[in-house]
Amino acid sequence: MKKAFIYVRVSTEEQAKEGFSIDNQVRVCKDFANNSGYEVYKVFSDDGKSGRTMNRPAFQEMLSMAKDGNVEAVIINKIDRFARNVGDFANVKKQLENLDIKMISVNEGDLSANGGLIANIFASVAQWESDVNGQRTRDAMMQKFREGWQPIPPPIGYRSVGGDRERKTCEPDPYSAPVIKELFNLYSTGNYSIYSLQQWLSTQNLTSRTGKPLGCSTIDNILLNPFYYGLIRWHGEEKMGKQEPLISKSIYDTCQYVLAKHRSFLTRRRTRNFLLRGFIYCSMCGNRYTAEWHKKESLKKRGGTIAYYHCIKNGRNNCPSKYVEMKCLEEQVENLIKSLQFSQEFIDKVIEKTKEKLNITRKDMSTQKKEISNIRLGFETKRSNLEDVLIDGAMDRETYKRKHDEIQSQIDNLDEQARQIENNASLDMGLIEEVLFFTRDIYKTYTEAPEFLKRYYLRFFYEKIYVNDKKICKVTPTPIFEELIKTRLVIVRSNELALLDSNQKPFR
């Protein structure tokens, strides 16, 4: 009896529902083989693989085994199960024919007959159908994005609801959403590393969709994802979506700052940092300044080295800019900061907002503590009942110990959550305190801040600081700083105001 391979493929669950399931294809092909006098040598199955590529594991294995010469035919259900590209189909068909192996389709017949003309026509139809379906899917996903929904499945913390495929929307998951929200709140305090959050998440029984504990890279991606405050992105476009945000934009921005701060400590730590790196530009040629240390024997009392900022084109391209000693330039920047003062109106607004934040924090803390207390009371009741059962002799010691330990573990977790709520309230107060100090005395807050925080303050006010002949000659304010000046919410000394390049135009 002649021998044959059977090849089957399905790419999506929807196809399985429409009669293209693997099991259904195998059954049809085996019936055809038996009725046509073929013995099935082996069945090759690619589950969940696209027909637009030849890089399918079972497909490649079949082509490799075909070279052994053990079969006379390859039986498929339909051409579109085999390939959805005319060029790929023709190439594979030719390879099999060179090995004297027929291609037979249950639905389209012997594909090796008639010089392959009919087979190529069917393959062309399969490719056209694939292209049309692909474009329809892309159009549907873009329309879903335009309507305010992310076309792909939502991240952890949400669950998909309603409809099929492109018609699905999402909503916060009742269990994981509060945990993700707390994750952002904890990290925004700046007192938790990704690793410590991973340990905390292990106590919350939050796992990935595969059931594994969340890794550090997954947590990092969660904190970087703007979806949680409402932003969705698709093919280079972005907009605010219709999903319910789990966090505010301000919490997200704070987390991005903390992430950047931690990365500067962990992955970009230098033995000698330069505060103004990335801020200073040459007014002569417009290029950025760099910074470096120089050894000088005459400076033994100062460690034998001195730091300079200078234009990267210094001495080249006819740029005559001069080297500026680090201390001199950083003192000039301090004077810029010294010239700034928030108006009383702005300070009053900040105080108003901080009071609102404090009230919300207190209210949330009270609600959370009450919920934890109620849950804890329930576990204490279970523990008491369990002890009564042991005393009555209705439970063996081993079972009692196991159940008692489980309940005690739950109570301990609740106690830890209560402590974290207290800590978060105190950390929120610390953040509020920092904001208030900054608004009331910008210069003092800046000079007393560590270097990474100074850079954060500089980024709030300035995009670029231009230097000419060792002196700051102009500065480009950030859009928010420029708006604060226009609305007189920030007061700038007149001599420093003259330095502002309010139109943000390049100059020489």
Positions annotated as catalytic residues are: 11
Give the DSSP letter of residue 392. T
| CB contact at 8 A, 117 and 84 | no
Q: Which residue has the tokens 């730590």?
A: 269
| CB contact at 8 A, 53 and 83 | no
Q: Where are the beta strands (DSSP E) in 251-295?
A: 280-282, 289-295
| CB contact at 8 A, 424 and 357 | no
Give the DSSP letter of residue 207. B
Angle at 427 between CA 425 and CA 428, to 5 degrees: 65
Nearest CA-CA partner of 150 in 57, 235, 86, 234:
234
In angstroms, how far is CA 38 from the centroid of its own chain? 53
Distances in whole angstroms, Cα of residue 54 to Cα of each of 88, 293, 351: 7, 57, 64
| CB contact at 8 A, 149 and 243 | yes
In angstroms, how far is CA 332 from the centroid of its own chain? 39
CA separation for the pair 394, 400 (Å, rounded): 10
